[in-house]
């Protein structure tokens, strides 16, 4: 990092050596060690290269859409009112339960491809619209298939604690036992789960319920993360941090206790400006206090049918800057290094020897252009695991 590059760590006239899916060497082309000078070359024409982008919070696999809910909100209904009336997440649950794996895959792929076309090379995909064991596992199988078909890294997250389905409306404990925990065990045994998440909110699960679910995840050796403090302050982020959570996400209502706990545990703050924008929220995440405490901040699309029907990580960066006053450097770090950390991945997000050769090549001169433009995609090429895509 240096002052001139604005903290990006830019290398002018740079070159990188890739091999075995990894970055072997990076530096100025003039300093390329002699042993590499005879290797086949890709001339990138002086373009800017960044790490491949990481979208660390998505619900990109789902059935149906929520365009009617969008209209209802414009007519004055709130997200909570719609949820309490059986709409919101539960309407996506009905459509997701009805869809088979093929249909879910077919509807998700165009959304995924839109992300990839903007330089994304790693995507997190949550369950959470099935809310029964079979439907939740179905979502995660589709997520894994997306990774195989598109040759990108997909990290899967068990989000059965997203909402209470109607058949369990008088039996919260039964839902947690029979679906959230029993399904977690099965999904873990089948190798379908990389992390466990939940929605800690008045319309979803309490802090104590989530703590019990996280204790179970810990027994299985699964890392945890949490939708916390989106609509109210239930102290979810602090509880998640005490469980060593990889990330706490949303965080509009996060208080100082939560910030302090996240700083101690190294929990990444994942901000989701798409949901903030769509819900026309007025409560801002505590950017400066997070910075002051040294909490790492990531950005993600939160692509979902209700609160963030968005498939652009570049627009997310612009929103992070315009809505949350993040600097362009913070926005880029937020979709690379810190986003990788939010997924527990230490092998990507930076261009450095030994790390995965996931790279995005852009037709721009300066990295701030990625954040500054709106609706413009300057991606030239991606390298995924060292392969030119």
Ligand X SMILES: N=CN[C@@H](CCC(=O)O)C(=O)O
**Subset of residues 111 to 150 that bind ligand X, contact rule: CB under 6 A:** none
Say which entry of Zn ion, ligand X, none residue 308 contacts (CB below 5 to 8 A, set by partner kind): ligand X
Has 175 been labeled as part of a binding site? no
Residue 230 CB, shortest distance to Zn ion, in Å, is 8
Q: Answer yes or no: is 230 a known binding residue.
A: yes
Q: Which among 85-93, 256-264, 289-297, 370-378 is the span making contact with ligand X, rule CB under 6 A?
A: 85-93
Decide if residue 89 touches ligand X (CB under 6 A). Answer: yes
In the complex with Zn ion, the residue whose CB is nearer, 302 or 330, is 302
59 is in an annotated binding site: yes
Q: How many CB atoms lie within 10 A of CB 19?
A: 12
What does 236 interact with, of ligand X, Zn ion, none (CB < 5 to 8 A by kind)? none
Shortest Å, Cβ 212 to ligand X: 19
Could you say whether residue 302 binds ligand X (CB under 6 A)?
yes
Is residue 308 a contact point for ligand X (CB under 6 A)?
Answer: yes
CB nearer to ligand X: give 18 or 251: 251
**Cα–Cα distance measured from residue 56 to residue 225, given in angstroms and rounded to the nearest whole number:** 11
- Taking contact as CB under 6 A, which single stretch among the options 13-21, 189-197, 300-308, 350-358 is the one that binds ligand X? 300-308
Task: Compose the 218-237 pattern: x for residues touching ligand X by CB under 6 A, - for all others.
Answer: ---------x--x-------
By CB under 5 A, name the binding residues for Zn ion.
302
Q: Is 88 an interacting residue with respect to ligand X (CB under 6 A)?
A: yes
* In the complex, residue closest to Zn ion by CB: 302
* CB nearer to ligand X: pick between 304 and 311: 304
Residue nearest to ligand X (CB): 306
Question: Could you tell me if 98 and 131 are in contact, meaning their C-beta atoms sit under 8 angstroms apart?
Answer: no
**With CB cut-offs between 5 and 8 Å by kind, which of Zn ion, ligand X, none does residue 306 bind?**
ligand X
Q: Is residue 304 within the footprint of ligand X (CB under 6 A)?
A: yes
Exactly one of 127, 265, 307, 336 binds ligand X (CB under 6 A); that residue is 307
Binding-site residues from annotation for Zn(2+): 57, 59, 227, 302
Residues that bind ligand X (CB under 6 A): 59, 88-89, 92, 199, 227, 230, 275, 302, 304-308
- Binding site, by residue number, is 57, 59, 66, 129, 162, 227, 230, 302, 304, 306-307
């Amino acid at each position: 990092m240096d002052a001139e590059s604005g903290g990006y760590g830019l290398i002018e006239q740079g070159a990188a050596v890739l091999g075995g899916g990894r970055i072997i060497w990076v530096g100025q082309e003039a300093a390329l060690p002699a042993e590499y000078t005879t290797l086949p070359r890709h001339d990138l024409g002086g373009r800017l290269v960044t790490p491949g982008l990481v979208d660390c919070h998505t619900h990109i696999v789902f059935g149906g859409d929520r365009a009617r809910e969008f209209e209802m909100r414009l007519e004055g209904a709130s997200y909570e009112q719609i949820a309490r009336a059986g709409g919101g997440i539960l309407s996506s649950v009905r459509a997701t339960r009805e869809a088979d794996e093929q249909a879910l895959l077919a509807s998700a792929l165009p959304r995924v491809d839109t992300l990839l076309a903007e330089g994304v090379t790693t995507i997190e995909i949550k369950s959470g619209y099935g809310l029964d064991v079979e439907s939740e596992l179905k979502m995660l199988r589709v997520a894994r298939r997306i990774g195989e078909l598109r040759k990108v890294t997909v990290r899967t997250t068990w989000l059965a604690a997203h909402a209470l389905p109607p058949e369990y409306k008088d039996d919260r404990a039964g839902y947690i036992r029979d679906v959230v925990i029993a399904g977690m065990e099965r999904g873990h045994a089948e190798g379908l789960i990389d992390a466990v998440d939940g929605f800690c909110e008045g319309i979803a699960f309490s802090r104590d319920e989530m703590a019990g679910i996280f204790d179970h995840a810990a027994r299985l050796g699964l890392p945890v993360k949490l939708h916390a403090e989106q609509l109210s302050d239930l102290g979810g982020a602090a509880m998640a941090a005490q469980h060593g959570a990889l990330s706490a996400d949303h965080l509009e209502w996060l208080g100082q206790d939560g910030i302090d706990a996240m700083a101690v545990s190294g929990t990444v703050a994942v901000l989701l400006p798409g949901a903030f924008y769509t819900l026309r929220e007025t409560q801002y995440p505590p950017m400066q206090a997070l910075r002051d405490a040294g909490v790492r901040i990531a950005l993600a699309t939160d692509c979902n049918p209700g609160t963030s029907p968005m498939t652009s990580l570049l627009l997310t960066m612009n929103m992070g800057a315009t809505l949350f006053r993040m600097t362009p450097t913070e926005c880029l770090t937020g979709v690379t290094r810190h986003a990788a950390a939010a997924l527990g991945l230490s092998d990507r997000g930076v261009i450095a020897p030994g790390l995965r050769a996931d790279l995005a090549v852009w037709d721009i001169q300066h990295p701030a252009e990625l954040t500054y433009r709106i609706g413009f995609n300057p991606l030239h090429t991606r390298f995924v695991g060292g392969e030119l895509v």
